[in-house]
Structure 1
Amino acid sequence: MTGNTAHTALWPAPIASGPVDATVTVPGSKSVTNRALVLAALASEPGWLRRPLRSRDTVLMAEALRAMGVQIDETVNPYGGEAWRVIPAGLHGPATVDVGNAGTVMRFLPPVAALADGPIRFDGDPRSYERPLHGVIDALRVLGARIDDEGRGALPLTVHGGGALDGGRVSIDASSSSQFVSALLLSGPRFNQGAEVRHVGPSLPSLPHIKMTVEMLRASGAKVDTPEYGGEPNVWRVDPSALLGSDLTVEPDLSNAQPFLAAALITGGRVTIPDWPERTTQPGDALRELFTRMGGSCELTEKGLTFTGTGRIHGIDADLSDVGELTPGIAAVAALADSESVLRGVGHLRLHETDRLAALTKEINELGGDVTETEDGLRIRPRPLRSGVFHTYDDHRLATAGAVLGLAVDGIEVENVATTAKTLPDFPEMWSAMLSPLSPARA
């Protein structure tokens, strides 16, 4: 398990004094924002991105595209929120891209860089060197790109763009990250032969994210064949074509709604998330079913999603392979439940911002819990928890998991809660506002 120990500031996680009753407006989806930025940068005409998420990961993506020549103008409408105007341009180097520790930036942009004219160097946080990138690197070489990574199969690396890429057929093992598939599909329309991506290996995790990529490609005018629409299993094809400029309003990030919905479940309160979509490819939509199984109820109306807890939390046996990013929050809730939980299908989380399975096991157990790692997940046996420091390893979802535990356990201090800025700016303020008697109540 790797973590940057430089960030040692401790945040006293507030304990809930009673049932919460709040409306929480969640910022836009990181996954949608960063995919939309890539597609807009590759389009044949300018486009708009409205209500985008402004966070570390999305700012890194925007700055990286700017470094390659894309113009992104930011405007603020006091009535409609922030909007970004993306004006495509000839992609070019030399340029240096800072990926931070953002999986979408480190994986989605090397294919874009292969289309640039000139060298693009990619570097990032120390943890980014350890995250798998070989699937993208190897695939791009097969498709005609020239990449210098000194044989690491990881960052840092330089893509020597030639202004175009042949493209064509490629087979990859994307079992460590579905982002390998999305990365090739997003740029595929700009390849001379398009792209046919075949997954060979163990089961793919996070399939909803690939579906999100496909739907967004189609909305931009691309023709995509997928297994769900009569295509071969584990094969995605995107034809070469011009991409249209779009005018997209970004959905709220449903995965980032998780800690607030968990607060309703744990405290027996009510939380409303405005603008929850009726239909979405976001994995966070699974929270409606998962948290209902754990003891709450939800109602989707024109006002949004209202989740109500009973104050009782039940254990769960769940395959989270499609929604692995929800695992830290579910594990935190499960540690407070009235029965054992088994979370399966998430072995790939060992390769995320940190080894999330090892981190959750260590941190919950050091508070008095009983968590054991399995081959592909966690077994959680609830025990009375005590105060202590909850380390986050520079992982935003570990930080919000610590806050969730702090609702019910007095004296938990979350290390480096500022890491939540990766995808959820102002989380500590949002958390305090939800717990305040002055929180915006449901209408």
Structure 2
Amino acid sequence: MTDTSSHADLHTDLWPAPYARGAVDATVTVPGSKSVTNRGLVLAALAAEPGWLRRPLRSRDTLLMAEALRTLGVKIEEGVGPDGTGEAWRIIPAGLRGPATVDVGNAGTVMRFLPPVAALADGPVRFDGDARSHERPLHGVIDALRVLGARIDDDGRGALPMTVHGGGALDGGAVEIDASSSSQFVSALLLSAPRFNQGVEVRHVGAKLPSLPHIRMTVDMLRQVGAQVDEPETGGEPNVWRVSPSALLGRDLTVEPDLSNAQPFLAAALVTGGRVTVPDWPARTTQPGDALREIFTEMGGTCELTEAGLTFTGTGRIHGIDVDLGEVGELTPGIAAVAALADSPSTLRGVAHLRLHETDRLAALTKEINELGGDVTETEDGLLIRPRPMHGGVFHTYHDHRMATAGAIIGLAVEGVEIENVATTAKTLPDFPRMWTEMLGV
């Protein structure tokens, strides 16, 4: 758990969060989804033939994933698509090999999705990353891989650093895991499962599974590349996922805009009583960020989805909300920021697992909003937010991109907010400060 009482080890650069002098009216093109990009990279690397990934997100997390796959022997060429238009990556699979060292940074998808891939490599693969990565749970993946036949040295920590001793193949089979701390444990095993000799049967045992939309995304993308998946959503056994062994197809995949990264811009329309359009918002998607349409509408806005994208309009009033965010926990920081500016209290539930994310997000949000004059109380599984007039001050981010964007949302309505280390947004949303100021016409 992160110590939120001291900021001495954090970047001290301060970014004055722009204060909105009027209603925003802007079109904001949001870069591609990190979740789709990194899943697409893994599946393409495991395929039996080359594939394309169009409009990939170029951010710290996705570049870490691409570089990690390159260290294992996969060829990833950056350029334009096969039709000569738009940025695209061509992924050419190869025999996975070690010895190799993977830098995971603080990317949950890299530290969790790649150990099963490394188990298929020929040779040892060492995993390490930022200091915070050593605190994030990996036991679900490590213990499961051992049951499935992998050899892993982690000195009993259930966390990084560790070495996966790849044997060129993995038996696979049935395994029980407790994924209540991260749905990525399930996705990690499913993504590589078609390459396991027996495929995999993953059975979740434990408390309620968080972030189910991300598992649905994994299943959907597996099926797109030819995998056979039996899962609860299509009549399978509850909390059980089965993937059959098979070759994966090389595909031409276009990455959707990252709907969770659209959150601060939609919030700006809500907070300022303005209007923001996000082009290319998909009509059907497994991304958790799609829940923003319903959540922010309940908090006081209106939205319209057309072929041009999603247009969200604020009414000038922000209402409190009582909502279970268990499936869409990554949206919590932005919703908390908006709720702190509402006209009535809010209760955010179902997100105890956020204590294990890039930082302890519940403790961090409570401390930072309260230091600006807010009134936030941690509950067992979330936050109770009572709106109060707030004042300027430093909003610390704890190397967490969603803390930075939450602070920027508050800064729209509270003068004098300064975001510490806004550059941490590069983890998933490169160039956020420029996009934010352009939206505001600053």
Q: TM-score, normalised by structure 1?
A: 0.98
Pair 1:191 & 2:184 matched: no
Match of 1:441 in 2: none
What letter is aligned with 2:415?
Answer: D
- Aligned partners of 1:4 and 1:394 also within 8 Å: no
Contact 2:129 2:161 survives alignment (8 Å): yes
Aligned to 2:393: 388
Alignment of 1:24 onto 2:24: no
Which residue of the partner structure matches residue 369 of structure 2?
364
Distance 1:396 1:216 in 2: 26
2:204 maps to 1:226: no
Task: Point out where structure 1 has 5 or more consecutive residues left out of the alignment.
Answer: 438-443
Structure 2: how far apart are the matches of 1:224 and 1:385? Answer: 50
Partner of 1:66: 70
**1:8 corresponds to which of 12, 18, 21:** 12
SS of the aligned residue for 1:256 comes to coil
Deviates more, 1:2-11 or 1:420-429: 2-11
Q: After the TM superposition, which residues 40-55 of structure 1 pair with which residues of structure 2 at under 5 Å, given as runs?
A: 40-55=44-59
How far has the Cα of 1:132 moved from its partner?
Answer: 0.5
The correspondence of residues 298-317 of structure 1 with structure 2, limited to 5 A, is: 298-317=303-322
The residue that corresponds to 2:422 in the other structure is 417
Change (3 A) 1:283 1:4: farther
Matched, 1:402 2:407: yes
Secondary structure of the residue aligned to 2:348 is: strand
Task: State yes or no: 1:322 paired with 2:327.
Answer: yes
Deviations, residues 233-262 of structure 1 (Å, cap 9, x unaligned): 100000000000000000000000000000
- Matched with 2:380 is 375
Structure 1 stretch displaced more, 400-409 or 4-13: 4-13
Q: Which one-letter code corresponds to 1:295 in the other structure?
A: G
Q: CA deviation at 1:216?
A: 0.1
Of 161, 167, 180, the match for 2:185: 180
Aligned equivalents of 1:65 and 1:285: distance in 2? 29
Q: Identify the residue that residue 253 of structure 2 maps to in structure 1.
A: 248
Report the secondary structure of 2:430's partner residue.
coil
Given residue 244 of structure 2, which amino acid in structure 1 is its aligned partner?
Answer: D
Which residue does the alignment assign to 2:438? 433
Say if 1:45 and 1:245, in contact at 8 Å, map to a contact too. Answer: yes
Q: Name the stretch that deviates more: 120-129 or 5-14.
A: 5-14
Quote how far apart the aligned CAs of 1:300 are.
0.3
Q: Distance in 2 between matches of 1:71 and 1:117?
A: 17
Distance 2:232 2:305 in 1: 30
* Structure 2 unmatched ranges of 5 or more: none
Identity of aligned residues (%): 83
Deviation at 1:80, TM superposition (A): 3.5
Q: CA deviation at 1:4?
A: 7.4
1:5 is displaced (CA, Å) by 2.3
Is contact 1:30-1:58 (8 Å) kept?
Answer: yes
- Give the deviation of 1:6 after TM superposition: 3.7
1:272 equivalent to 2:287? Answer: no
Instruction: Report the 3-state secondary structure (helix = DSSP H, G, I; strand = E; otherwise coil) of the residue aligned with 1:44.
Output: coil
1:135–1:174: 8 Å Cα contact kept in structure 2? yes
Query: Which residue of 1 is the match for residue 170 of structure 2?
Result: 165
After TM superposition, give the deviation of residue 82 of structure 1 in Å. 1.1
Q: Does 1:292 align with 2:297?
A: yes
- Which amino acid letter does the alignment assign opposite residue 172 of structure 1? I
Q: Which of structure 1's runs of 4+ aligned residues deviate more than 6 A?
A: none
- Report if the CA contact (8 A) 2:99-2:124 is conserved: yes
What secondary structure sits across from 1:49 in the alignment? strand
Q: Name whichever of 78-87 and 200-209 sits farther off.
A: 78-87
Question: Could you tell me how far apart the structure 1 residues matched to 2:399 and 2:141 are?
Answer: 24
* Whole-Å separation in 2 of the counterparts to 1:298 and 1:5: 41
SS in 1 for 2:344: coil
CA displacement at 1:144 relative to structure 2: 0.1
1-structure distance, mates of 2:390, 2:21: 17
For residue 108 of structure 2, what is the aligned residue in structure 1?
A: 103
Deviation per residue, 1:38-60 (Å, 9 max, x gap): 00000000000000000000000
SS of equivalent to 1:232 = coil
Distance 1:120 1:266 in 2: 47
Closer, same or farther: CA 332–64 of 1 in aligned 2, 3 Å: same
Which amino acid in the other structure matches residue 417 of structure 1?
V
Q: Is residue 146 of structure 2 the alignment partner of residue 141 of structure 1? A: yes
Aligned-partner residue type, residue 110 of structure 2: V
Q: Deviations over 1:254-274 (max 9, x none)?
A: 000000000000000000000
Indicate if the aligned counterparts of 1:395 and 1:420 stay in contact, CA closer than 8 A.
yes
Spell out, residue by residue over 1:19-47, the C-alpha distance to the aligned partner (whole angstroms, 9 max, x if none): 00000000000000000000000000000
